[in-house]
């Protein structure tokens, strides 16, 4: 499917907005596919963040389809602690979570395919390609892909960059999307796939959302520095309330990036979707737009922030059609930290409410959470 | 099949003669299988030497069957130089060579199964077991298995000990045989297979034949220090003639070990086979016994050496029923280096003649030699 009203330059711009390309070859590869009128297939294999999931909406809008790999083997190889059966339960958890998040964002599921990584790794062609790739890489090549593999003492994490890049060929995907922490693995794929005789792939990287303290987000950081998809409304409000958010400053600000990378892009997707009948988009999104945009806001508004000024004790809304206007007003002091925090917490809670509600209605998802993560299960206690 | 006339202690003694066990668990495992009346299945995955192939005769005589794994994946992973198609041609070469050597020795092929390693590694159960095994081993565990893996800078050689030991489970073999250079890999298998929930296996190690110079044999040594299966008669005579063979000394002697580890054991197999109708044993062995044993030698003779003494200028034969008698006479000076060399060269040439003849009659074997080893092809030039 090619987006009917778009030329290839528009498709390219839409696909690559807010992304860093890996290198010139990535750009060239994508431009070529689009100029041939082909629908690019996108692969995204790291689950857990809104930002890449939001990018899917652009990919689909540009006429592409998304292959979402559920990386059971990868997760098993990189953890070397949890047994395979437990990891398999986590795949149910991830499939459920990603489906709920994509629905909440408004990405049409008819354009998304989910594939368990282990489901195709048993085929003889894969095995041979895997052995071949192992002969193309030195141990140091793999350690150089990133900090996690570089620091590993066990064997299995060394295999994960190979497994990740081979997926592109075996899932027939043209483009891979990952965080900027994937640069080393993407470099490996850029080198090795052509050495195996496969078409080179395009690799693009999305920004990583910073922590609520303003620094780098990390899975090893304490829970209060990040908002989880299943946090309840009070947790979200409390985490945002205690987040780093210095007045008039973007420095070490943990709240502005949520507006920039999550709220504005999602609101833009909803605005776009409301003018189209996108297959698979659930109607409840039109309701939720109210969480982001005030009644009576001018056309084009993507985010409204309730604020108050000394000269006008009555609350009123400032309406923004793009993130840079919010940042400008914030730095100027026209939007105070407490105004920003309240609006962001409210918007996030409306967004997460859909995800929480899907979770509570899905026995499969809840039980996969419980069985897959027994030591840190965070679901409703009465379900246990 | 259990050998009908043997009790389990006799079976055990036959299987383990001339071998080092890996550890007590290996002995215990084999004793248990035999006491349960089960036919052990033996795995041997390194091809190229007479000594382990000779052991197969004992395994089969004790009621076992042999699975001979043609290690295409292993060879590919450890070389990381030659392309897969070339490695696959080498498997044809190895299958042909091993069949010819087993026929020359007199091991009944009806008890030997050959399996290409890559043929079962694509099944999903294998894949999962492979991933699991990768999570059980540190990088250092693998480096510690032996010098070759320990010195490797590429990734692929690190995988070879895992692939080797997993084979035991996936080929359903009870016992693994390898050279004493396999100790580290066998230790890894002893630890990991039970951790994967599999039955422990017995591991036994055969002596490695020393080089013709008397030192350790190595594939990196020059060709004149070792006899190849396809050497022609003149090459064999010249190599033995120039071998280290000090009079009256076993020290640094490169010829006595050939008598000990190849000629006596094979002669013993032929003596045994001549009293039995072993399925699959080709009749020409009775002819070849003459190369080893002189006409009119007393019953029980396994090797005859033509010698001469000052008091009796006419050549006559000394007949030996076991290697230790030859060694005793050699140390005493009753057998001179030139006597030993002549008898060993003659015996080896009679043995290799069968292998050479099989090679020359097999288009498949010759062409796999040519395609699989283009840079050091040693076959008849006019066949090219």
Render pLDDT for B309-352 as a digit per residue (tens, 0 to 9). Answer: 656 656 788 999 999 999 999 999 999 999 999 999 999 999 89
- pTM summary value: 0.82
Residue of A156, A160, A161, A164 to mutate when probing chain B, most B C-beta within 10 A: A156
Higher pLDDT, A311 or A294: A294
Lowest average pLDDT, out of A146-155, A367-376, B60-69, B206-215, goes to A367-376
Instruction: Report which secondary-structure segment, H or E, holds B185.
Output: helix B183-195
Residue B171 CB contacts under 8 Å (≥ 6 apart), including other chains: B41, B43, B67, B69, B115, B120
- Tell me the average pLDDT across A196-224: 81
Cβ <8 Å between A134 and B153:
no
Residue of B121, B135, B153, B162 to mutate when probing chain A, most A C-beta within 10 A: B135
Lowest average pLDDT, out of B52-61, B145-154, B254-263, B279-288, goes to B279-288
CA distance A131 to chain B (A): 7
Residue in chain A closest to B139 (alpha carbons) equals A155
Size of interface A-B (CB pairs under 8 A): 94
A-side interface with B, Cβ within 8 Å? Answer: 73, 76-77, 79-80, 84, 118, 121-124, 126-128, 131-132, 134-142, 152-156, 158-159, 162
Asked if pLDDT for residue A36 goes beyond 70, the answer is yes
Rounded to an integer, what distance in angstroms lies between the CA atom of residue B270 and that of residue B287? 10
What local confidence, expressed as pLDDT, does residue A142 receive?
A: 96
What local confidence, expressed as pLDDT, does residue A231 receive?
A: 87
Secondary structure class of B72 (helix, strand, coil): helix
Cβ <8 Å between B77 and A154:
no
What local confidence, expressed as pLDDT, does residue A45 receive?
A: 39
Higher pLDDT, A23 or B183: B183
Cβ <8 Å between B155 and A138:
yes
Asked if pLDDT for residue A101 goes beyond 80, the answer is yes
Residue in chain A closest to B127 (alpha carbons) equals A122
Average confidence score pLDDT of chain B:
85
What local confidence, expressed as pLDDT, does residue B302 receive?
A: 94
Cβ <8 Å between B134 and A123:
no
What local confidence, expressed as pLDDT, does residue B136 receive?
A: 95
What local confidence, expressed as pLDDT, does residue B94 receive?
A: 86
Q: Which of B79, B139, B155 sits opposite A154 (nearest CB)?
A: B139
- A196 neighbourhood in chain B, CB within 8 Å: none
Residue in chain A closest to B123 (alpha carbons) equals A122
What local confidence, expressed as pLDDT, does residue B153 receive?
A: 93
Cβ <8 Å between A131 and B80:
no
- B91 neighbourhood in chain A, CB within 8 Å: none
- Tell me the average pLDDT across A11-36: 83
In chain A, where the domains are located: 8-206, 233-373
Rounded to an integer, what distance in angstroms lies between the CA atom of residue B319 and that of residue B298? 8
User: What topology is assigned to B8-206 in CATH?
Assistant: Rossmann fold (3.40.50)
Pick from A45-54, B192-201, B202-211, B373-382 the range whose average pLDDT is largest: B192-201
* pLDDT category of residue B154 using cuts at 50, 70 and 90: very high
- Tell me the average pLDDT across B36-55: 69
pLDDT digits (tens, 9 = 90+) for B78-128: 876 788 888 888 888 889 988 999 998 988 888 899 999 999 998 889 999
Q: Work out whether the CA dihedral A160, A163, A166, A172 comes out positive or negative.
A: negative
CA distance A142 to chain B (A): 8
Asked if pLDDT for residue B224 goes beyond 90, the answer is no
- Tell me the average pLDDT across B243-260: 95
What local confidence, expressed as pLDDT, does residue B233 receive?
A: 93
For the domain spanning B233-373, the CATH number is 1.10.240.10
- Give the number of other Cβ atoms within 10 Å of residue A161's Cβ: 28
Asked if pLDDT for residue B20 goes beyond 90, the answer is no
What local confidence, expressed as pLDDT, does residue B18 receive?
A: 81
Higher pLDDT, A234 or B220: A234
Asked if pLDDT for residue B55 goes beyond 60, the answer is yes
Q: Which of A121, A131, A155 sits opposite B137 (nearest CB)?
A: A155
- A118 neighbourhood in chain B, CB within 8 Å: 124, 127-128
- Tell me the average pLDDT across B71-78: 86
- A86 neighbourhood in chain B, CB within 8 Å: none
What local confidence, expressed as pLDDT, does residue B171 receive?
A: 93
Torsion of CA A233, A236, A241, A243, to 10 degrees: 180
Residue in chain A closest to B131 (alpha carbons) equals A77
- Tell me the average pLDDT across A245-253: 95
Cβ <8 Å between A135 and B159:
no
What local confidence, expressed as pLDDT, does residue A2 receive?
A: 46
Q: Which of B77, B128, B136 sits opposite A134 (nearest CB)?
A: B77
Residue in chain B closest to A133 (alpha carbons) equals B156
Q: Which of A144, A156, A150, A167 is nearest to A46 (CA)?
A: A167
- Tell me the average pLDDT across A322-339: 96
What local confidence, expressed as pLDDT, does residue A253 receive?
A: 95
Q: Which of B115, B107, B133, B126 is nearest to B50 (CA)?
A: B107
ipTM for the assembly: 0.78
Q: Work out whether the CA dihedral B18, B22, B23, B24 comes out positive or negative.
A: negative
Residue A235 CB contacts under 8 Å (≥ 6 apart), including other chains: A227
Asked if pLDDT for residue A25 goes beyond 60, the answer is yes
Average confidence score pLDDT of chain A:
85
Asked if pLDDT for residue B173 goes beyond 60, the answer is yes
CA distance A173 to chain B (A): 22
Secondary structure class of A361 (helix, strand, coil): helix
Q: Which of A123, A136, A155 sits opposite B122 (nearest CB)?
A: A123
- A154 neighbourhood in chain B, CB within 8 Å: 134-135, 137-139
Cβ <8 Å between B155 and A132:
no
């Amino acid at each position: 499917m090619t987006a009917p009203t778009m030329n290839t330059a528009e498709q390219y711009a839409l696909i690559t907005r807010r992304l860093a390309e890996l290198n010139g070859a990535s750009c060239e590869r994508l431009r070529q596919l689009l100029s041939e009128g082909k629908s690019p297939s996108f692969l995204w294999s790291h689950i857990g963040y809104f930002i890449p999931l939001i990018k899917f909406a652009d990919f689909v809008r540009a006429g592409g389809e998304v292959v979402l790999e559920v990386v059971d083997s990868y997760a098993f190889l990189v953890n070397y602690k949890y047994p395979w059966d437990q990891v398999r339960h986590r795949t149910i958890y991830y499939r459920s979570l990603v489906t709920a998040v994509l629905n909440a964002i408004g990405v049409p599921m008819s354009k998304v395919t989910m594939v368990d990584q282990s489901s195709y790794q048993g085929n003889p062609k894969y095995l041979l390609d895997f052995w071949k790739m192992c002969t193309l890489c030195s141990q140091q090549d793999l350690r150089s892909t990133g900090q996690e593999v570089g620091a590993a003492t066990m064997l299995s994490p060394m295999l994960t960059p190979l497994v990740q890049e081979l997926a592109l060929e075996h899932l027939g995907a043209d483009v891979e999307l990952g965080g900027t922490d994937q640069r080393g693995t993407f470099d490996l794929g850029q080198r090795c796939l052509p050495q195996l005789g496969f078409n080179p792939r395009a690799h693009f990287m999305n920004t990583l959302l910073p922590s609520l303290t303003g620094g780098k987000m990390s899975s090893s950081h304490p829970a209060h520095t990040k908002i989880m998809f299943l946090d309840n409304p009070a947790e979200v409000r409390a985490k945002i309330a205690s987040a780093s958010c210095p007045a008039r400053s973007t420095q070490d600000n943990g709240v502005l990036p949520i507006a920039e990378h999550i709220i504005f892009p999602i609101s833009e997707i909803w605005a776009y979707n409301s003018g189209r009948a996108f297959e698979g988009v659930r109607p409840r999104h039109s309701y939720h737009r109210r969480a982001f945009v005030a009644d009576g806001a001018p056309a084009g508004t993507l985010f409204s922030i309730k604020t108050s000024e000394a000269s006008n004790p009555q609350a009123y809304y400032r309406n923004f059609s793009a993130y840079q206007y919010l940042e400008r007003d914030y730095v100027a002091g026209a939007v105070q930290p407490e105004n920003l925090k309240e609006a962001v917490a409210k918007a996030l809670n409306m967004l997460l409410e859909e995800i929480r509600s899907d979770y509570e209605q899905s026995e499969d998802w809840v039980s996969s959470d419980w069985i897959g993560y027994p030591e840190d299960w965070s679901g409703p206690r009465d379900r246990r």
